[in-house]
Structure 1
Amino acid sequence: MDLRVFTEPQQGATYDTLLRVAKTAEELGYDAFFRSDHYLHMGNVDGLPGPTDAWITLAGIARETSRIRLGTLMTAGTFRLPGVLAIQVAQVDQMSGGRVELGLGSGWYEEEHKAYGIPFPKEKFGRLEEQLAIVTGLWETPVGERFGYDGTFYQLQDSPALPKPAQSRVPVLIGGHGAKRTPALAAKYAAEFNIPFASVEDSERQFGRVRAAAEERGRKGDDLVYSNALVACVGRNDAEVERRARTIGREVDELKANGLAGSPAEVVEKLGRYAAVGSRRVYLQMLDLDDLDHLELIASEVMPHVA
């Protein structure tokens, strides 16, 4: 099982903080550094010093790292036109030497759209499907050929479909809890399906839906990587777990029920339960980005038992 670091910088983080976390994660052997794509904080925090843009952040980190993979959970489709997004991701992939992955979602947080003057359309899922078709279509168009698209929401004419990513195929991540449309979209476009903040039982059910949808499209169910995103709160003893939970404003019992919390042994055991239902990758939501010792503890006491 791969362990990846997943950050929520809209809650309050500078670029320098994110770079420090990414470089530490690379040094400690984590598989990837991912971040959310939000422009407004959530909950009872001030969000200072303010938001950082996901793809500008990843571009900078791409030039400061050498091994770790980089991506988003999830880029908000409402924030960017698909042609522009294809250019941005391809460029960052080139800057990283082919280490980028694109998680793309429909966008959901209406308040951040209001705060920064971003249109928040009523129909988002149909737009997401067209965005996926355009982004992947632009990348897959051979050099020298042209790409066009005539959709309900987006139209492209005579596009040179440039630039190309460094990778022959940038992995696309699709995720969510939807029972029908989401699995169908993942089956058509995704290299990886991610379910955020779900129980083992709900994960097993949703993975099964995606496998079935993939097989209906003529793909093998195991062509996709199946993954989870879960908040992490690990400690060497009960006091350390309690301290970390208190710092992020959560209760230990709730975190143990809904995330990965407790001693390293407890977390290894719970990760084993996710692995048993098909999860091959876990994005550890790290909410205290100043606590680099937390990263070190998981790397030394959890990672060797699940890798």
Structure 2
Amino acid sequence: MELRIFTEPQQGATYDQLLTVARAAEDAGYGAFFRSDHYLAMGSSTGEPGPTDAWTTLAGLARDTTRIRLGTLVTAATFRLPGPLAITVAQVDQMSGGRVELGIGAGWFAEEHTAYGIPFPSVGERFDRLEEQLAVITGLWATPAGERFDFAGKHYPVTDSPALPKPVQQPRPPILLGGKGPKRTPRLAARYADEFNLPFVSVDETVAQFGRVRAACAEAGRDPGSLRWSNALVLCCGRDDAEVSRRAAVIGREPAELRQNGVAGTPAEVVDTIGRYAEAGSERIYLQVLDLADLDQLELVAAEVMPQL
């Protein structure tokens, strides 16, 4: 089981705050630092000082860190055109020495689109666009040097592209897809994903959706063992109940609710929770860190949870 750190900067974070967390995660031995790709705060947060762009952030972290892997959970296909996104990810992969992963989804948060003038089509069209984006991005990266790439898409037709630049990682940076959709999501994962992720769901829901994706792999003639399987869950770990309660209060949650829906409690409780997800087939847990100033929590998990996994 690998532990990764997952942040939500739209709730309020500067680049320097994210860099501090990324470097702390790198020093503590976490496998990756991921961030959301959103432009608007959710809930009661004001989001001040304002959103930071996901791929601008990762480009900076590519130069300001040395070992930890970097990625999005997840980039919205509505935000970017597939050709420029393929260029951006390949460039950041080069800047990082081959440490980048692309998590991408259809987009879902309508309010951030209207707040920043981003078109927000119907859910069916968003999935159509996501599917074409995956075809274009993977096609561009897979085109041999010196050859050209064409794609007869409805939304993103591509003609005579030199398909440059190339990422460092070959055959490509890992692509992460996820979500609870019962039909198109599993089919897209079976066709394009290197990793399938489920955010904020129970063990039972994990078993059910992993099963749908495995069935889609079988239908597509793909070995499900070629996929990595992961979950994302909010973190609230303390040395004792008092510390758990203090950390829960800081992020506006209740300890009992977090123990039920997240990775929460003492280190022993956290190990038990992660173990249940491992039994469901999960190989990675993205720990959603909502208090970016609390580096002690990262160190506690690295010292007392990670060695037991």
2:159 aligned residue: 157
- Number of residue pairs the alignment of both structures matches: 306
1:64 aligned residue: 64
- Cα distance in structure 1, aligned partners of 2:193 and 2:252: 34
Deviations 1:174-222 (A, max 9, x none): 0000111100000000000000001001101111111111121111111
Query: If the length of structure 1 is used for normalisation, what is the TM-score?
Result: 0.99
Of 183, 191, 196, the match for 1:193: 196
Deviations 1:41-99 (A, max 9, x none): 00001111000000000000010111100000000110000001000000000000000
2:98 aligned residue: 98
- Find the residue that maps to 2:4 and give its secondary structure: strand
Of 226, 236, 241, the match for 1:233: 236
2:134 aligned residue: 132
Letter of the aligned partner of 1:205 in structure 2?
Answer: A
Matches within 5 A, 1:102-117: 102-117=102-117
Higher deviation after alignment, 92-101 or 213-222 = 213-222
- Cα distance in structure 2, aligned partners of 1:225 and 1:247: 33
Letter of the aligned partner of 1:61 in structure 2?
Answer: L
Stretches of structure 2 that go unaligned for 5 or more consecutive residues are: none
1:144 aligned residue: 146
1:247 aligned residue: 250
Letter of the aligned partner of 1:31 in structure 2?
Answer: G
- Cα distance in structure 1, aligned partners of 2:289 and 2:181: 25
Query: If the length of structure 2 is used for normalisation, what is the TM-score?
Result: 0.98
Letter of the aligned partner of 1:231 in structure 2?
Answer: V
- Cα distance in structure 2, aligned partners of 1:32 and 1:108: 24
Of 289, 298, 305, the match for 1:295: 298
1:305 aligned residue: 308
Letter of the aligned partner of 1:126 in structure 2?
Answer: D
- Find the residue that maps to 1:253 and give its secondary structure: helix
- Cα distance in structure 2, aligned partners of 1:223 and 1:63: 30
- Cα distance in structure 2, aligned partners of 1:270 and 1:63: 35
- Find the residue that maps to 1:255 and give its secondary structure: helix
- Find the residue that maps to 1:138 and give its secondary structure: helix
**CA drift at 1:121:** 1.4
- Cα distance in structure 1, aligned partners of 2:117 and 2:279: 44
**CA drift at 1:277:** 1.2
Of 215, 218, 222, the match for 1:215: 218
2:275 aligned residue: 272
Q: Among all aligned residue pairs of Structure 1 and Structure 2, give the percentage whose two residues are the same amino acid.
A: 69
- Cα distance in structure 2, aligned partners of 1:215 and 1:192: 16
- Cα distance in structure 1, aligned partners of 2:127 and 2:27: 38
Q: Does 1:76 align with 2:79?
A: no
Letter of the aligned partner of 1:103 in structure 2?
Answer: G
Letter of the aligned partner of 1:197 in structure 2?
Answer: F
